Each structure stands twice: as structure tokens, then as C-alpha cells.
């Protein structure tokens, strides 16, 4: 889609804002950060909501939001087990 926008006349180009929620955020991040991925010039901003493990890509205008009580967002991968909540009541074993 951004290729199509890039090929439009400058004065006719719409602003492109990308939004992804949960696994949609993960998929959007994969497109922007995978091996050999190009970050489209025409993307004005991105908003990720509820991204598993709270991951961010590092795009210039990237915002990630989450509810404080969302266990999916506040989980992290443990070397010895599957994801577990982080914080006072959870985390990876020592």
C-alpha cells in the first residue's frame, strides 16, 4: 500500500498511519523490522496496542500502549520456560 502512496503526486498523497492490536501489532512490527525490511517513507506514524511482551521496533514515530493489568503485554520470555508475567507476583526463576 505504501508503494502505491509513494507513486502518487506529492500534493495528492494521503498521510499513512499504521495501527496494530495484539497479534496484529506483532505482524505489523514484523513487516517493519524483519531481515531486509524497508521502512516505508510514506508511513507517518504507528500505534501498537497490546503488543505481546510489549515489543517495539524503534520506528521514528512509534507509540506502544497497554493496560497495566494485561498479562500478555507484561510477559517476557524465560530461557527455561514459556512466557510468564513480570512484576511483583511473577517473573523468571533465578
Q: 41-51: per-residue pLDDT in tens? A: 678 888 988 88
pLDDT at 80 over 50: no
pLDDT at 7 over 70: yes
Which pLDDT band, with edges at 50, 70 and 90, does 11 fall under? very high
Residue 94 within a domain: no
What range does the domain containing 75 cover?
2-85
Residue 25 within a domain: yes
Residue 80 within a domain: yes
Closest CA relative to residue 73, chosen from 49, 46, 44, 92:
49
44-48, 51-55, 78-82: which is most confident? 44-48
Cα 61 from chain centroid (whole Å): 11
Amino acid at each position: 500500500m505504501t508503494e502505491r502512496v509513494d507513486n502518487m503526486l506529492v500534493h495528492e498523497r494521503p498521510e499513512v498511519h499504521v495501527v496494530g492490536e495484539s497479534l496484529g501489532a506483532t505482524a505489523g512490527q514484523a513487516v517493519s523490522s524483519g531481515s531486509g525490511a524497508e521502512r516505508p517513507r510514506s508511513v507517518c506514524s504507528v500505534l501498537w496496542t497490546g503488543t505481546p511482551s510489549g515489543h517495539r521496533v524503534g520506528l521514528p514515530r512509534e507509540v506502544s500502549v497497554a493496560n497495566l493489568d494485561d498479562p500478555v503485554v507484561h510477559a517476557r520470555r524465560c530461557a527455561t520456560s514459556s512466557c510468564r508475567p513480570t512484576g511483583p507476583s511473577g517473573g523468571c526463576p533465578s
